[in-house]
Structure 1
Amino acid sequence: MAAAIAARLFPGRIYVASAGVRRGSADPFAVAVMEEKGLDIRAHRPHTFEDLEDMNFDLVITLAPEAHHRALELTRYYAVDVEYWPTADPSATAGSREQILASYRNVRDGLEKRIKERLGWTPPVSA
């Protein structure tokens, strides 16, 4: 979700890549809440840090402790900032479909807020 949000907020201005500690498939709840914002992440497949083509990043943001430790390991010889943003895992939410979606929305909205703050997003000026 974070990569899609950042790419939409800063089109063509920053390079964004997404990686974690495990490969996987698209999460249907993440897909649903991102579609609410007009973002289609159906084709996204979670992949690992090792799947990245290079490590030429200025900033790596991690959302889970395991990912943070792995990012620190992989970037220890690079001039890159690594930040940890503790983020709840919405896939661990139990309850009704609406309760689960609410958890995903909270994560989505929290990530959008932090990305805007950290990367200095300003709304486009309309003519």
Structure 2
Amino acid sequence: MKQRVLILCTANSARSQMAEGLLRALAGDRFEVFSAGTRPSAVNPLAIAVMEERGHDIRPHRSKHLSEFLGQPFDYVITVCDSAAEACPAFPGRATRIHWSFPDPAAATGDAERLAAFRQVRDAIDARLAAWLAELDAAPGA
């Protein structure tokens, strides 16, 4: 049975969407991966664009409220922004909660700066996910 991972941020528009797409690409079929937000909006077009630069198509993704997942068991609940970490509810079972604080790339001002911020956050999430997967693989009993 696949392990289940839920990735949370505030709007479920950029950081958690990129993390969902990247984890699916990095881990293959190892996990069932979902993302949600505490105040969902829409998937940011720049998140879609910078993911496409790396060959990941997140256009089919939609922004979801975390209430869609309440009551469901997860093996890992990963928050990728501070406000989502503070608002993260308890999930049934033995979910391991992980918090990684990434800046909101949408907060950057200016078109070139905003695009650069999205690329930086994408790359930081990618590196953190790769390191996390390596940690899991190195754990006793992995």
Is the shorter-chain TM-score for this pair beyond 0.5, marking a shared fold? yes
Alignment RMSD: 1.8
Q: 1: distance between equivalents of 2:90 and 2:106?
A: 26
Q: 2: distance between equivalents of 1:32 and 1:9?
A: 19
Instruction: Tell which structure's C-alpha radius of gyration is larger.
Output: 1
How far apart are 1:117 and its partner, in Å? 0.5
1:112 aligns with 2:126: yes
Q: Name the SS of the counterpart of 1:22 in structure 2.
A: coil
* Percent identity over paired residues: 34
Alignment-derived partner of residue 67 in structure 2: 50
CA contact 1:19–1:47 (8 Å) conserved in 2: yes
Deviations 1:78-103 (A, max 9, x none): 311111101100010002x2211110
Q: Which runs of 4+ in 1 moved over 4 A?
A: none
Which ranges in structure 2 are unaligned for 5 or more consecutive residues? 1-17, 138-142
Question: TM-score normalised to the size of structure 1?
Answer: 0.85
How far apart are 1:53 and its partner, in Å? 7.1
> Would you say how many aligned residue pairs link Structure 1 and Structure 2?
119
How far apart are 1:21 and its partner, in Å? 0.6
Q: 2: distance between equivalents of 1:101 and 1:55?
A: 35
